[in-house]
């Protein structure tokens, strides 16, 4: 292990990036006609600094300089650690997205060439319009819009469809943002039951629809179900549920926060009226970002344009979509989505391999006697809820660092992202790790178990 060398090199990489940003700033402050004397001096100094840093970076030597940005520490989790954080794994930026952020971080950076009709999804340079079409095709839906997070997609649909007191059938494992979307729209959630395997079946949804009908005298206004839930990442029967939705003629929102961007999603095959995905959760994009896709049938309602007219001026802004509040992601966030997209599209084709890695890791994980997987088994996803109450928590009970002993041990091995201090039930996500990283992480778990005398099968 030579983490200290690597750690210095990572630090130096940041130093070099930051020093180049200082170079860039000199251009920003100077005249188009070129540098004056003071600027040239600044520039020479900054370049000399970058060179010095590069020498250290190459050698992995030198004293790390301060890479704090004001009160912010530079975040090096993804460089220094194998990150198994449950919600961070698939939102990690691609190199392309990081480059796009460097170029397009400034405020309204998408708007250089905004022309009539002045709407984000109509901008052709950068290719925002094309990206919107790509997104719709990617999900096999008719139309798509980017939104500031999946939650804003749920909200747009709920607010478009619901009237006060309307029921929405959700999963008993629904994410809190689905609750909020229903609440902000004046609706009420009705939870479909889980079966013994913690899975929502089409039958459970049908039963809940009937119960809601009996209770309120009318059908629920919307069905909103996660393909994989945030707790166990169990797979729920979205195709069956789509069929039930059609039978009852209730619109169906497919929550793809844990699928869109990592596994193939086919809206038509699912029979979804709405598909919502998360950019920062599963599309290798900066937060807040996401996608809301729908059919040509529903688009006029969900993406309805403003009808408000100024009573005095007669002003109208007819092209602007009410639920999207006009434009949504006017800068860097959108550009990360666009830049990551080719690789994101490609990686969904490798989903089976990601699931294999997840299962391999957990097979090793389960060799520690007393450890359990609470999610369905074998895994169909890379996010998993585990229970180490009878393994690592046994150690924690008498360790002076309590549950933090486990975090300490993981950290010492270059692994991060578990919930620090938690040794009973916790979640992990292996998405995007290489086989080498998977094996390294699995070995680390076994090593820690061995160190503390836990049985290994």
Output the smallest distance, CB 423 to a second copy, in A: 16
Quick one: 194 or 270, whose CB is closer to a second copy?
194
Distances, alpha carbon 307 to alpha carbons 132, 179, 321, in Å: 24, 29, 10
By the rule CB under 8 A, 102 interacts with a second copy? yes
CA 221 – CA 166 distance, rounded (Å): 6
3-11, 221-229, 243-251, 353-361 -> range binding a second copy (CB under 8 A): 3-11
The correct pick among 162, 286, 337, 396 for binding a second copy (CB under 8 A) is 286
Judged by CB under 8 A, does residue 74 bind a second copy?
A: yes
How many positions of this chain bind a second copy (CB under 8 A)? Answer: 146
Given candidates 41, 61, 66, 127, which one binds a second copy under the rule CB under 8 A?
Answer: 127
Which one, of 188, 218, 221, 223, lies nearest residue 204 by Cα?
223
Q: Which of 52, 64, 264, 331 binds a second copy (CB under 8 A)?
A: 331
The DSSP call for residue 94 is P
Please identify, using beta-carbon distances, which residue of 126 and 403 lies nearer to a second copy: 126
Question: Which is nearer to a second copy, 105 or 264 (by Cβ)?
Answer: 105
Shortest spacing between CB 119 and a second copy, in angstroms: 11
Of 371-379, 387-395, 396-404, 433-441: span binding a second copy (CB under 8 A): 433-441
> Which residue among 37, 63, 70, 249 contacts a second copy (CB under 8 A)?
70
Task: Output DSSP code: residue 304.
Answer: P
Binding mask 240-279 for a second copy (x = CB under 8 A): ---------------------------------------x
CB of 311 to a second copy, least distance (A): 6
Considering the complex, state which of residue 394 and residue 440 has its C-beta at the smaller distance from a second copy.
440
265 CB contacts (<8 Å, ≥6 apart)? 138, 139, 140, 227, 254, 256, 259, 275, 277, 348
Q: How far is the CB of 197 from a second copy (least distance, A)?
A: 16
Scanning residues 155 to 174, which ones bind a second copy (CB under 8 A)?
A: 155, 159, 172, 174
92 SS3 class = coil
Contact between 58 and a second copy by CB under 8 A: the answer reads yes
By beta-carbon proximity to a second copy, the closer residue of 137 and 317 is: 317
Restricting to residues 295-314, name those near a second copy by CB under 8 A: 306-308, 310-313
Counting contacts by CB under 8 A, is residue 435 touching a second copy?
no
Phi/psi class of residue 355: alpha, beta or left (left: φ > 0; alpha: ψ in -120 to 50)? alpha
Give whole-number Cα distances, 88 to 249, 258, 371, in Å. Answer: 36, 11, 23
**Six-digit token pair at 241?**
């549920």
Torsion of CA 46, 52, 55, 61, to 10 degrees: -130
The Cα–Cα gap between 221 and 252 comes to 9
- 245: preceding bond cis by omega (within 30 degrees): no
Angle at 217 between CA 215 and CA 223, to 5 degrees: 75
CA-wise closest residue to 278 among 325, 321, 231, 336: 336
Binding of a second copy by 436 (CB under 8 A): yes
From residue 179 to residue 198, what is the string marking binding to a second copy with x (rule CB under 8 A)? xxxxxx---xxxxxx-----
For 215-259, the DSSP string reads HHSS--SEEEEESB-TTT--B--HHHHHHHHHHHT--EEEE-TTT
In the complex, least distance from residue 268 CB atom to a second copy, rounded to whole angstroms: 26
**For a second copy, which stretch binds (CB under 8 A), given 143-151, 241-249, 293-301, 348-356?**
143-151
Q: Does 51 bind a second copy (CB under 8 A)?
A: yes
Q: Where in 346-375 is the site for a second copy (CB under 8 A)?
A: none
- Rounded Cα distance between 169 and 161, Å, is 13
Site string for a second copy, 7-46 (x = CB under 8 A): --xx--xx-xxx-xxxxxx-xxxxxxxxxx-------x--
Closest CA to 248 of 259, 240, 256, 258: 240
* Shortest spacing between CB 336 and a second copy, in angstroms: 7
Q: What are phi and psi of 215, to 5 degrees?
A: -70, -45
CA separation, residue 82 to residues 6, 79, 343 (Å)? 13, 8, 20
CB of 378 to a second copy, least distance (A): 26
Residue with smaller CB distance to a second copy, 281 or 379: 281
């Amino acid at each position: 292990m030579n983490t200290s060398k690597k750690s210095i090199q990572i630090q130096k990489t940041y130093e070099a990036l930051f020093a180049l940003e200082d170079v860039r700033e000199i251009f920003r402050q100077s005249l188009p006609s070129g540098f004056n004397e003071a600027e040239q001096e600044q520039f020479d100094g900054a370049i000399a600094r970058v060179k010095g840093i590069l020498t250290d970076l190459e050698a992995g030597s030198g004293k790390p300089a301060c890479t704090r940005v004001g009160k912010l520490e530079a975040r090096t989790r993804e460089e220094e650690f194998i990150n198994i954080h449950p919600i961070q794994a698939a939102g990690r930026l691609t190199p392309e997205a990081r480059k796009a952020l460097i170029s397009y971080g400034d405020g309204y950076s998408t708007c250089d060439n905004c022309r009539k009709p002045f709407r984000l999804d109509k901008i052709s340079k950068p290719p925002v319009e094309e990206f919107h079409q790509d997104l719709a095709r990617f999900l096999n839906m008719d139309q798509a819009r980017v939104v500031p997070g999946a939650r804003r997609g749920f909200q747009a649909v709920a607010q478009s469809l619901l009237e006060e007191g309307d029921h929405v059938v959700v999963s008993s494992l629904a994410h809190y943002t689905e609750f909020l979307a229903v609440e902000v729209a004046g609706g009420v959630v009705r939870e479909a039951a889980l079966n013994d395997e913690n899975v929502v079946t089409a039958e459970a949804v049908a039963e809940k629809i009937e119960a809601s009908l009996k209770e309120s005298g009318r059908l629920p206004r919307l069905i909103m179900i996660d393909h994989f839930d945030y707790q166990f990442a169990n797979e729920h029967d979205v195709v069956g549920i789509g069929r039930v939705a059609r039978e009852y003629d209730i619109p169906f929102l497919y929550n793809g926060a844990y699928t869109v961007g990592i596994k193939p999603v086919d809206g038509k095959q699912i029979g979804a009226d709405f598909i919502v995905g998360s950019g920062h959760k599963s599309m290798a994009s900066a937060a807040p970002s996401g996608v809301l896709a729908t059919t040509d049938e529903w688009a006029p309602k969900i993406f309805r344009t403003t009808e408000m007219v100024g009573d005095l001026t007669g002003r109208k802004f007819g092209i602007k979509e009410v639920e999207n509040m006009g434009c949504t992601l006017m800068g860097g966030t959108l550009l990360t989505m666009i830049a990551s997209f080719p690789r994101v599209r490609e990686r969904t084709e490798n989903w089976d391999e990601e699931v294999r890695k997840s299962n391999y890791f957990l097979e090793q994980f389960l060799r520690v006697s007393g450890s359990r997987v609470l999610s369905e088994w074998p895994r169909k996803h890379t996010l998993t809820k585990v229970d180490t109450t009878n393994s690592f928590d046994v150690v924690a009970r008498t360790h002076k660092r309590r549950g933090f002993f486990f975090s300490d041990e993981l950290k010492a091995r270059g692994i991060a992202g578990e919930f620090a201090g938690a040794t009973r039930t916790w979640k992990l996500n292996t998405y995007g790790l290489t086989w080498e990283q998977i094996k390294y992480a699995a070995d680390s778990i076994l090593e820690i178990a061995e160190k503390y005398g836990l049985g290994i099968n």
